Amino acid sequence: MLQDAQSQTIGNYYKGIREERGYSLGDVARSNDNLSKSQISRFESGLSMLTTDRFLLAIKAINMTPNEFFALWAEEPNQYQAFGNKIMAYEITKDIVGLKKLIKGNAKLKRDKFFNILTKAVILDLTGKNLLTKVEQTFLNRHFNRISQWTMFDISIFNRCLALLDEEEVYDLGQDMLDSEELSVLFIQNSDGVKKTAINLYIFLISKGWYRRAERIKEILDDFITEWDLEEKISLHIFKKVSRYKQKNNPELLIDIQDDIDRLRKFGAVGIAERFEKILNLIINA
């Protein structure tokens, strides 16, 4: 049988290839009596393993040979990592021209569509300009509305694209993510990624003035934030004050918030302080 650590990685990748080639879970299940939709779905989410025989049948069902599948799988992490490094380099230097050069015109592959969207999310964050097309908006919304089981790939895309998603759906998607049955598996894979995404969702909801929704997300966050999650606890502390300030318009709270941000700078957390100050200014001036 496939090993646990591998099944999560291979399963996620298999799902991407299956969808990119236009095969549904039903198509795979119908290809052989030894496969079922629930079996493949759990494998794709890293919740269970496949026997070697069934895994080979699943590869055959999407019209690939094992050699083709594993050759592509070996290249895939390098492609995503390389692209992520490019985006980060341009983001740090605020090189908008460089970011725009990463955008592929008429992207056909699902991977390239996501790369374009992620690039435009960074441009939006840096410039305030939304370059997302209607076709890309539809693609992004459809992707999240069709999620049956969340993966770390889905969470990382969701985290980056909060401002690009349909505003009315962001909260529902966030709750769906945090209430999902596979959350415990996702915590094992990358607990920091899950927590940071939930924190960013909380901050995003406050920035939109959805205070009750933000408070519900915070209640969920309180259940899995530990005493060791210092950055997350500081984020919650500061933006809880921001929420109160926006609702009560108390100038003293604003001074208190600015003092907290200045304190972060003094302790060397300059990057976090600058990010919080940028978000705070956007919220105040909204």
State residue 284's pLDDT score.
78
The answer on pLDDT for 78 being more than 70 is no
> Please, what is the Cα angle at 123 between 122 and 125, to 5 degrees?
65
Percent of the chain at pLDDT exceeding 90: 36
Is the CB of residue 218 less than 8 Å from the CB of residue 202?
yes
Binning pLDDT at 50, 70 and 90, where does residue 224 land? Answer: confident
Higher per-residue confidence, 152 vs 253: 253
Binning pLDDT at 50, 70 and 90, where does residue 92 land? Answer: confident
Please state the rounded mean pLDDT for residues 37-62.
86
Q: How far is CA 6 from the centre of its chain?
A: 21
Question: Mind listing the pLDDT tens digit for each residue in 240-274?
Answer: 999 998 888 888 888 999 898 898 888 887 888 88
Fold classified for 10-74:
434 Repressor (Amino-terminal Domain) (1.10.260)
Please state the rounded mean pLDDT for residues 165-172.
88
Q: Which of 17, 15, 32 is nearest to 69 (CA)?
A: 17
**Choice among 19-28, 55-64, 178-187, 244-253 with the minimum mean pLDDT:** 178-187
State residue 113's pLDDT score.
92
State residue 75's pLDDT score.
64
Written as six digits, the tokens of 67 are 């050699």
Rounded Cα distance, 159 and 174, in Å = 10
Cβ burial 52-78 (10 Å sphere, 16+ → b, else e): eebbebbbbbbebeeeebeeeeeeeee
- Kindly report the average pLDDT of the chain as a whole number: 85
Question: Mind listing the pLDDT tens digit for each residue in 93-130?
Answer: 889 999 999 999 888 888 899 999 999 999 999 999 99
Higher per-residue confidence, 15 vs 72: 15
Please state the rounded mean pLDDT for residues 51-58.
87
Question: Mind listing the pLDDT tens digit for each residue in 7-49?
Answer: 346 787 888 888 888 899 999 999 999 999 998 988 887 777 7
Rounded Cα distance, 151 and 178, in Å = 12
Residue type (1 letter), 207: S
Per-domain boundaries in the chain: 10-74, 79-227
Rounded Cα distance, 23 and 18, in Å = 5
